[in-house]
Amino acid sequence: MTACQEPINISITGSGTPSPTVITSTDGTSRPLDRWLMLATGVELRYEHWKGPSGNEDTIMITRFDPRRIALRVLYSPSTPHFISDWLKQEKGALAVINGGYFNDQGEATGLVVSDGQVYGSSYSGFGGMLYVDSQGAIHLRSLSQYPYSPGEQLQQATQSSPMLVLPGGKRTQFDADASSNRRTVVAFDKEGRLLFIISPDAAFSLDEFDDLLLASDLNIDVALNLDGGSSTGMYLNAGGQRFGVDSLTPVPIAIVLQPR
Average pLDDT value for residue range 122-143: 98
> Cβ distance 210 to 179 under 8 Å?
no
* Cα atoms in the 13 Å half-sphere on the side-chain side of 46: 16
- Per-residue pLDDT reduced to its tens digit, 209-257: 999 999 999 999 999 999 999 999 999 999 989 999 999 999 999 999 9
CA pair distance 258, 248, nearest whole angstrom: 17
CA distance 150 to 142: 13
From CA 248, how far away is CA 208, in angstroms rounded? 22
CA distances for 23 relative to 30, 32, 170, angstroms = 6, 6, 29
pTM confidence score: 0.89
Domain ranges of the chain: 22-260
* Region 71-88 average pLDDT: 98
The string of DSSP letters for the chain reads: -------------SPPPP-SSEEE-TTS-EEESS--EEEETTEEEEEEEEE-TTS-EEEEEEEEE-GGGEEEEEEE-TTS-B-HHHHHHHSTT-SEEEE-S-B-TTS-BSS-EEETTEEES----SS-EEEEE-TTS-EEEEETTTS---TT---SEEEEES-EEEETTTEEP--------EEEEEEEEETTS-EEEEEEEEEEE-HHHHHHHHHHSSS-EEEEEE---GGG--EEEEETTEEEEE--SS-BSEEEEEEE-
| Closest of 74, 223, 213 to residue 146, by C-alpha | 223
pLDDT digits (tens, 9 = 90+) for 35-66: 999 999 999 999 999 999 889 999 999 999 99
Distance between start and end Cα atoms, the chain:
33
Band of the pLDDT at 25, cuts 50, 70, 90?
very low
Average pLDDT of the segment spanning 148-176: 96
Neighbours of 27 (CB within 10 A): 11
The pLDDT, as a whole number, for residue 178 is 83
**For residues 253 and 261, what is the distance between their CA atoms, to the nearest angstrom?**
25
pLDDT score of 170 more than 80:
yes
> How far, in Å, CA of 252 to CA of 64, rounded?
23
User: What are the phi and psi torsion angles at 237 (to 5°)?
Assistant: -120, 130
Entry field: residues in the chain: 261
Which has the closest alpha carbon to 25: 38, 5, 7?
Answer: 7
Task: Indicate if the pLDDT at residue 176 is higher than 90.
Answer: no
Tens-place pLDDT, residues 97-114: 999 999 999 999 999 999
Q: What share of the chain has pLDDT > 70, as a percent?
A: 88
The candidate with the shortest Cα–Cα distance to 188, out of 205, 204, 209, 211, is: 211
Q: How confident is the model at residue 6 (pLDDT cuts 50, 70, 90)?
A: very low
pLDDT for res 11: 38
Please give the residue that has the higher pLDDT: either 195 or 20.
195
Name residue 152's beta-bridge partners: none
